[in-house]
Structure 1
């Protein structure tokens, strides 16, 4: 691959081509006209062709120069956009977050006051939904999504490892350390999301239980009503550890059979790469990681 010409010579070429004059380019760049001519000669030597037609009173682009110009214009526009993205943080006092409905309702809203106490100048706006909106069409700053971390055109940063647990209200269990067969009559409140389905299949295989033997009473893709109904004692459910950890720590739920399925899917912060350079995003990422680490650091022996 041929080495690129010096950036300075490309900048001089762009200025001379756009102004239509070596003299005008020299004035814009605060250099001598001779310096402009020298840089153009260096560039022409590098590409081995004439880029300007020099006439007695005028200088104009050659056919090869006309061909090169749009590429150089686009390249410098990209450089300017990158520098602008690093240095410009829109709405620095407003943080707009889109997150899964369950994460928004069960984790972020109950805990966000701590973040706001640390950064009272920030106004927080949530947009709970389960789809990944295009950042080009919205004013969203950051997204929290559950998956494998692959989001084309976007940067993703893993927040924490997760697992799927089987949980229930303590009073529903027939005994403190039940046998698998003794829990099968407890109603199952079933989240039909793909990784939950994987956990159910793993549970059935691990404990040699037929899928039809599970007493399914409610099915939904929304973890919020699942957790609410489990807390109310209406059944047991396979749920994300992220959503259940604090309830287990507080004794409101128990991890039935100490069952856990290690899922490859977990929570990610997702955004265009330059968003992660913004101060408000750096602060939110650090706060959220610390929250989740503390949230997940539960002692199951106490539950």
Structure 2
């Protein structure tokens, strides 16, 4: 039969003492006495059945057992703290909790969010960037914004826009890219995105050019990292056009080819279908759709002007 879990007080005392290498500093951080910290550690060591710290004159050091236990518990402790802060945020007046992907948060939402805050200064806003698994989000939060193909159960869904794929790079990389060899698949200046490994194949098929395989170029974890790497001159990346609208307008990223390929995916707004919509949520959704309209108009105007290879 599993043993009862240690108290949260013991775990917090253990984590702080391990991080600060001091019971007294941990006591100051947690607003406790050093004696209370020492007692919590002793209780935890009794429960574990071995020493977690070596006591030295002015410091404490983790034992091998302590390092193992810290590695196994610190992630769970952070998740509990995050869950608590999320629930606290939901309980505030005019609270708005938005979940989205790191790329949408970094490249689209945050550059525009001050305009919402100016319109709603009393809003208590929490933005959580999470790597969704197969586009699945739990119901914690007021709204979620993610990519997919409208596959979410338990949510009201609104499509914000379709995703078109474009091949982009920094102006310097675009200028030195020889289009002929590039279209023949002869370049290693390629950035692949681990979370979207099919994007190059999809774009190449739509553009009618040979595919670039994973043994060519660099693989980065998510789109936010890939776009940042492209801006810094690491190579050519397949980007979701709307996500880099600001970079295209500013000229930090430019198209290396005119092909714009529909991905079959879209960005969607998700709301739990069992929850009444709050006033602040309604205001955020209206603002979001207005800002999306501005992005779409900007991209359409850019296309109408024929701005493509190497043009800002």
TM-score for the superposition, normalised by structure 2: 0.60
Q: Please state how far the C-alpha of 1:199 moved relative to its aligned partner.
A: 4.6
Q: Which ranges of structure 2 fall in alignment gaps of 5 or more residues?
A: 1-89
Q: Radius of gyration: which is bigger?
A: 1
Q: Please state how far the C-alpha of 1:276 moved relative to its aligned partner.
A: 6.4
Q: Please state how far the C-alpha of 1:112 moved relative to its aligned partner.
A: 0.7
Structure 1 residue ranges (4+ consecutive) displaced by more than 6 angstroms after TM superposition: none
SS class of match (1:173) = helix
SS class of match (1:121) = coil
Which whole-Å CA distance do the structure 2 matches of 1:275 and 1:179 have between them?
52
In the TM superposition, what whole-angstrom CA distance separates every residue of 1:230-283 from its partner, at most 9, and x where no partner exists?
111111100111221221112111112112110221111112135463211111
Whether contact under 8 Å (1:147, 1:267) holds in the other structure is yes
Which whole-Å CA distance do the structure 1 matches of 2:288 and 2:92 have between them?
20
Change (3 A) 1:182 1:174: farther
Whether contact under 8 Å (1:160, 1:293) holds in the other structure is no
In the TM superposition, what whole-angstrom CA distance separates every residue of 1:24-66 from its partner, at most 9, and x where no partner exists?
xxxxxxxxxxxxxxxxxxxxxxxxxxxxxxxxxxxxxxxxxxx
Whether contact under 8 Å (1:150, 1:156) holds in the other structure is no
Which whole-Å CA distance do the structure 2 matches of 1:289 and 1:224 have between them?
22
Which residue is 1:273 aligned to?
273
Query: Which aligned pairs between 1:152-231 and structure 2 lie closer than 5 A?
Result: 152-174=153-175, 179-182=179-182, 184-185=186-187, 187-194=189-196, 197-204=198-205, 206-212=207-213, 216-231=216-231
Which residue is 1:233 aligned to?
233
Matched, 1:262 2:262: yes
Query: Which aligned pairs between 1:137-156 and structure 2 lie closer than 5 A?
Result: 138=140, 140-156=141-157
Whether contact under 8 Å (1:165, 1:259) holds in the other structure is yes
Superposed CA RMSD in Å reads 2.5
SS class of match (2:224) = helix
SS class of match (2:259) = strand
Which residue is 1:294 aligned to?
294
Return 102-111 or 120-129, whichever deviates more. Answer: 102-111
SS class of match (1:104) = helix
Whether contact under 8 Å (1:142, 1:269) holds in the other structure is yes
Which residue is 1:248 aligned to?
248
